[in-house]
Amino acid sequence: MAVTATTNGNTIRLKVSGRFDFSSHQEFRQIYEAVSAEVTNYTVDMSEATYLDSSALGMLLLMRDHAGGDDAKIEIVSCNEDVKKILTISNFGQLFKIS
């Protein structure tokens, strides 16, 4: 899986391509941990993500914790059917804004 990130003012957009699973852990984490203090909003772009497993869900939780927990502003966008289904079953819509 590849993770690319672009920052625009106070928002960082992380794009995930391919399988979002345990092997992506390091990469994903390094990116969100390195954000500058200006960044307050996070967008996770799933347009090219093919698959999401429970460790990916864990990573999203870790990122949310890093971004301020309940105060974090995180949007997960462009989910395909499969990704959306996984997020729905785990009811992550209660923690993240999902589209």
Partner 1 sequence: MAPALRILIADDNESDRMILRSIVRKEGHEVILAANGEEAIRLFWEHQPDLILLDVIMPVLDGLSVAKELRSKLAEDYVPIIFLTSLQDPESLAKCLDSGGDDFLSKPYNRVILKAKIKAFGRMRSMHEKLQVHNRQMLIEQQVAKTIFDNVAHSGCLDLANITHSLSPLSVFNGDTVLAERKPDGGMHLFLGDFTGHGLPAAIGAMPLAEIFYGMTAKGFAMEEVLREINSKLRDILPVGVFCCGCFVELDFYEKRAKIWLGGLPDIVCFRAESQSIETFRSTDLPLGVLEANKFQPTLLDVFMADGDELFIWSDGIIESRNEDGELFGEDRLLAIFQPASVNTLFDSILSAVDRFVGEAGADDDLTLLSVKMASMDVLGLPDLDNRRGSLVGPQDWEFSYTLGALTLRGFNPLPIVLNIITEVEGLRGLSGQLYTLLSELYSNALEHGVLSLPSSLKFSHDGFSAYYTEREKRLAALIDGEVEIRVKHRPEADGGVLEVTIIDSGQGFDHQQFLARDFPEDGYSGRGLPLINAICEDFYYNPTGNAVTALLRWPLAP
Residue selected from 31, 35, 61, 77 as contacting partner 1 according to rule CB under 8 A: 61
Residue 30 sits in the site that holds partner 1 (CB under 8 A): no
Tell which one of 59, 76, 83, 98 touches partner 1 (CB under 8 A). 59
Smallest distance from partner 1 to CB 8, Å = 27
Only segment of 12-20, 35-43, 60-68, 71-79 that touches partner 1 (CB under 8 A): 60-68
Q: What is the DSSP string of the chain?
A: -EEEEEEETTEEEEEEEEEESGGGHHHHHHHHHT--TT--EEEEE-TTEEEE-HHHHHHHHHHHHHTTGGG-EEEEES--HHHHHHHHHTTGGGTSEE-
- Applying CB under 8 A, the site for partner 1 has a residue count of 14
* Contact footprint for partner 1 (CB under 8 A): 54-55, 57-59, 61-62, 65, 89-92, 94-95
